A = this chain, B = another copy of it.
Amino acid sequence: MSAGAPTCSICNARETTGFNYGVLCCDACKMFFRRTLFVKNINSCHRLGECIRKCRSCRFQKCIQAGMVFTPTKNTLEPTNNDQLSAFLFNLAHQEELRKYQLVNCWYDGDPTIAEIAEQNAPIKFTKRPDGFPMNLGEWIFITGLTSLNYLKKFNHVNMLNASDRHFLLKYSFYEISIFTDSMRACERKEESITFPDGSDIISEAVPGLEMSFLNGIRCRLAARVNDLKMTKEEFLLLSAVFFCNPGFPGISKSGCDILSTYQKIYSSALLQYCLVTYQKAGPTRFTDLLAVFQVIIKMRQDLSYLSTFLSICGFAVTKKKLYNC
């Protein structure tokens, strides 16, 4: 009797009805997630998703942790569809909050490859980082990359790609997204230079034979640009999404490119709408200013590649984690 569908992993009460917003769950949790995104009537509760009680905040946290994602479909440029944009932003903001929480508090015991992460269609399972856990440069780089990957994996378009395209997309974008996020954090903390959450430098101490100006460029240039623009959190989230749909990454198939550009259009028109609503006539200029940040991200990425190669030749390789090798 009652073979039925498996039990919904979010409410642990009802049977799943299929994939809803990217996650296998029940109809009730689907509607709950949707309503919450559109109405945003959530009071934050300190225990993150733990009071299985009738706590709306924790139920929503469980949705976010399970990877539920809302993606706008209707043309967000229609002013009437503004609530689609705002639901999308609400969704992204909570995903980003989770990423930040995991970066500061969590840990992952293992050394996965990008390919392994791309294969898994469940979110990465982090564990609480023990108090007094010794974080060094390599650990920070690792957890930064891993939390970024976990954030990126949830996007709708990732699940639509075939295994190979998904692998390439994550491989060629997670590093850029990480440094962009790092720069945004520096900006929020009113710091000129990128650091890790504990304040430590992102470049290893002893680097012989490299110009200080080059190293300071890595530390500061992108953060300075973000700061000059006074980039909002919403702009950051949308811009990351647009960047993450770059159809130009190497190795991606024709059909993959099509999917990526479809989504890139969605996200960039969402960004444009945000700019128009927020800056009125100055909206289009703002939009292009934001897109121009891509160049700075790519420049920083190149500098970091050079630095990494240089260090490794000198025998100073910082991390041997597979994330950054293959």
Chain B's nearest CB lies how many Å from the CB of A105? 22
B residues within 8 A CB of A52?
A: 262, 265
A17 within 8 A of B: no
Contact with B along A46-81 (1 / 0, CB 8 A): 000001111100000000000000000111000000
Cross-chain contact A13 with B266 (CB below 8 angstroms) = no
B residues within 8 A CB of A253?
A: 2
A127 within 8 A of B: no
Cross-chain contact A53 with B265 (CB below 8 angstroms) = yes
A308 within 8 A of B: no
Cross-chain contact A258 with B13 (CB below 8 angstroms) = yes
Task: Enumerate chain A interface residues (CB-CB to B < 8 A).
Answer: 2, 7, 12-13, 15, 51-55, 73-75, 253-255, 258-259, 262, 265-266
Sample of 24 A–B contacts (CB below 8 Å): A2-B253, A2-B255, A7-B254, A7-B255, A7-B258, A12-B258, A12-B262, A13-B255, A13-B258, A13-B259, A13-B262, A15-B255, A51-B75, A52-B262, A52-B265, A53-B73, A53-B74, A53-B75, A53-B262, A53-B265, A53-B266, A54-B73, A54-B74, A55-B75
